[in-house]
Amino acid sequence: MGTPPAPMYATLYFAIHEAAVNPRFKDNLTFYQRYIDDILGIWIPSSDDDDQRWEDFQREINKFGKLKWEFSERAKSTTFMDLELTITDGRVTSKLFEKALNLHLYLPTTTAHPPSVLKGMVHGTVKRIHRLSSDEANQRDSTRDFYIRLRQRGYTPRLLHPIFRDALAKKVTTNDKETDEPRAVHFHMPFHPGNPRSFQLQHLFRHHLLRPYSGWPLYMVRNHKKARLNVRRMIVAFHKPRSLRNLLFPWRLRQSPGSEVSVFLRRKQRSRTTTTTTTTTTKTTTTMTENSSEKK
C-alpha cells in the first residue's frame, strides 16, 4: 500500500466509524471482523423489516470518507481472503480458496536457492492447507494439487516424496519447544551453489568439535564463569547474498544528524506531565483558599 505503516493507518482510519455504527446493529450483526479493506460478518435476520435493516447498515457504513464499500449478497457461502466458508447443517466449514488467475509459479529447479527453501515451502504450505481446511477430503485434494504443481515446475518424485512424507507427519505437531534441549550455535553464511553443503558443515562440526581426537569436546568446555557451554548442536543458516536491489533500494534510511524523534516525544510528554501537575496544584491551592474564606 505504498509505505509500511499504510495498513495500520487504514485500519485505524475506518475503525473510528465502525465503533459508532456497529453497536446500532448488534441484534443482527453477531460477528464482524475486518482486515484492512476486507470485511467478514454474520448477519442474523430479524423477524420484521430485515431487508430495511440490511440497507440501513450498508448506508451507514458508506457514510464515511470518499471510498465506498461493495457488499456481496447475503448467502450461506462466501470467500474471505484465502478462505472459502460455508454454513452446512448449522456448522461452518472451511477450505482453501484460490483465485482462478493464480498461476502457481513456484520456484523452478534451476534457481540458486538453498535446498532448505523447497523444504520450508512444502512444510509451510501443507500446514497451511490443514489449518484452513476443516474436512479431510479437502485437505487431501489441496495437498495433491500442490504436489502436481511442483511436479509441473520440474521437481522430481524422488526429491518431493521424502519432504511430503515428513511434512504430512508433522502437520499436527505443536510449536512448543522442549526446555531440556541442548544449546545450539548458529553458523550464518551467504548461500552459493559452489559453497559446502549443510551436511558437510555438520560433519566437520561433529568430527572436529563434538568428537575431537584430542582435547575437550565443545559441550565440556567451560566459560569464564566455570560453567559448561553444553553446546551439542550447530544450526547452519544460509542467507541470500546482496543483490543490486539491496544496493539501489536500501531498506534502512540514513540517520540524520541531531537527536532522535523519541527524544522530542519524551520531552513533550514530560512537559505535559509537569503542566498537569502544576495545574492540579493551583486548583488545590485555590480550593483551600476558598474553604478558608468560607470558614472565616
Cα–Cα distances (Å) from 46 to 60, 86, 88, 256, in that order, read 18, 21, 21, 59
Secondary structure (DSSP) of the chain? --STTHHHHHHHHHHHHHHHHGGGGTTTEEEEEEETTEEEEEEPPPSSSHHHHHHHHHHHHTSSSS--PPPPPP-SEEEETTEEEEEETTEEEEEE---TT----PPPTTS---HHHHHHHHHHHHHHHHHH--SHHHHHHHHHHHHHHHHHTT--HHHHHHHHHHHHHTTT---PPPTTPPEEEEEEEE--TTSPPHHHHHHHHIIIIIS-SSS--GGG-B-TTS-B--EEEEEEEEEPPP-HHHHHS-SSPPPPSS--HHHHHHHHHHHHHHHHHHHHHHHHHHHHHHHHHHH-
Handedness of CA 165, 166, 171, 173 (dihedral sign): positive
CA distance 184 to 218: 11
Cα–Cα distances (Å) from 154 to 111, 118, 133, 192, in that order, read 11, 12, 27, 21
Instruction: Look at residue 225 in the predicted model and tell me its pLDDT.
Output: 75
Better-predicted residue by pLDDT, 57 or 270 = 57
CA distance 172 to 221: 38
Instruction: Look at residue 158 in the predicted model and tell me its pLDDT.
Output: 94
Residue 263: pLDDT band (50, 70, 90) is low
C-alpha cell at 33: 471482523
20 pLDDT exceeds 50?
A: yes
Instruction: Look at residue 119 in the predicted model and tell me its pLDDT.
Output: 92
pLDDT tens for 103-145 read 999 988 888 888 889 999 999 999 999 999 988 999 999 999 9
282 pLDDT exceeds 60?
A: no
Whole-structure pTM over 0.85, yes or no? no
Better-predicted residue by pLDDT, 56 or 170 = 56
pLDDT tens for 152-200 read 999 999 999 999 999 998 875 544 444 445 688 889 888 888 888 888 9
Instruction: Look at residue 113 in the predicted model and tell me its pLDDT.
Output: 85
Q: What is the mean pLDDT of the chain?
A: 82
Q: Which strand ranges, in their side-by-side order, compose the sheet holding 91-96?
A: 77-80, 83-88, 91-96
End-to-end CA distance of the chain: 68
